[in-house]
Structure 1
């Protein structure tokens, strides 16, 4: 198989993904959601190593737009983009190379809108790697939390990323806000460049009769 990747921001995280997702590997009826898929590198890895059962699925949400703003924000991080970079076409090519395209649900649109259309408490793992703006990351996290099953894994990417001196344009403030407001509803498994959370049962979040 011949993949078409211009970047690799994922491979260094594979050891942690194996550590926390291997419990789902090769199991039936495992469903995962990726918010922000870009070229599909993480998606392809999931399809090849975790979501291998015929009844397991992956949903990928992305705008698939390489806007001038996004290209400017990623300046210096991309290895080399082709002059005419069709992000969605590249993503679809890579997914097809895995042989599992029939188990991928591709949702094109703004995550703030599309996440509201997905079934509640339906995903075993959700990976948030879309917009890097704090407000957008917080919005993605809040909406995704309702989609995640109890004991499911939520992964944030780019916690330590600082592309802008304005904290509102970086992920950290949005992630910290989520961790603060939803404190007690999860267990932090890892906290570094990526953050791994396990969603707790509601019975573990009750205090004085309240959730």
Structure 2
């Protein structure tokens, strides 16, 4: 009998999550406001305005975001950089948090630019190899905090980046007291060393920005 309990628990948990997400989707449809619970964007806006200035309003600009969470950064990119209707944003996320995917969908819809967004739900290491080579102008890496995941995202993203395009790494200085394997810094450092002859470091702070030169 006890052996059945985990299965029963998982079934109940899955049903609850489905019901909650369905309720949240219905609630958000009637909302005229964005639905955010955290702000990871405002502190970076001033830098983004400088780094991304060359792409503002241009046609056929291609952005890729690894780790979209509630869509707050995606909405900022859409409203402040990808303002030409032919520009696009690909968003990759597991969307496993409670109510996360409905909030993302709502916020992207609220932006008025849903047609410019391609949502990819799943693991980045499975999705990135399927994306077209040398296609993206800017890639924003903000998925996992684990060093191994960040390094893999960076390596898989390199093939997708156009020459002169940018990769923006978030959280270089995140939680410095944690073991190196549990935070992005060492992965970003290794990537910078491995590709040193093919990139230029544009910025090195809490976020690290590199430009592909060859």
Q: TM-score, normalised by structure 2?
A: 0.84
Q: Contact 1:38–1:87 (CA<8 Å) still a contact in 2?
A: yes
Deviation at 1:163, TM superposition (A): 6.6
Residue 43 of structure 1 is matched in structure 2 by: 74
Larger Rg: 2
**1:164-175 equivalence runs, <5 A:** 165-175=178-188
Residue 157 of structure 1 is matched in structure 2 by: 170
Q: Contact 1:30–1:55 (CA<8 Å) still a contact in 2?
A: yes
Deviation at 1:9, TM superposition (A): 1.3
After the TM superposition, list the runs of 4 or more consecutive aligned residues in structure 1 that deviate by more than 2 angstroms.
none
Residue 25 of structure 2 is matched in structure 1 by: none
Deviation at 1:158, TM superposition (A): 0.1
In 1, distance between residues paired with 2:177 and 2:60?
40
Residue 110 of structure 2 is matched in structure 1 by: 97
Residue 136 of structure 1 is matched in structure 2 by: 149
**1:46-195 equivalence runs, <5 A:** 46-66=77-97, 85-162=98-175, 165-195=178-208
In 2, distance between residues paired with 1:165 and 1:130?
17
Residue 11 of structure 1 is matched in structure 2 by: 42
SS of 1:33 mapped into structure 2: strand
Tell me: CA distance 1:200–1:162, structure 2 relative to 1, closer, same or farther (3 Å): same
Instruction: For residues 20-61 of structure 1, give each alpha carbon's deviation from its aligned partner in whole angstroms, at most 9, with x where no partner exists.
Output: 101100110001000000011110001001001110000000
SS of 1:140 mapped into structure 2: helix
Deviation at 1:120, TM superposition (A): 0.6
SS of 1:158 mapped into structure 2: coil
Please give the root-mean-square deviation of Cα atoms over the aligned residues, in Å: 1.0
Q: Contact 1:164–1:170 (CA<8 Å) still a contact in 2?
A: no
| 1:24 pairs with one of 55, 64, 81 | 55
Structure 1 unpaired stretches of 5+: 67-84, 202-211
Structure 2 unpaired stretches of 5+: 1-31
Higher helix proportion (structure 1 or 2): 2
Instruction: For residues 125-166 of structure 1, give each alpha carbon's deviation from its aligned partner in whole angstroms, at most 9, with x where no partner exists.
Output: 000000000000000000001100000010000000027622
In 2, distance between residues paired with 1:159 and 1:33?
19
Q: TM-score, normalised by structure 1?
A: 0.85
Which structure ranks higher in relative contact order (CA pairs < 8 Å, sequence separation ≥ 6)? 1
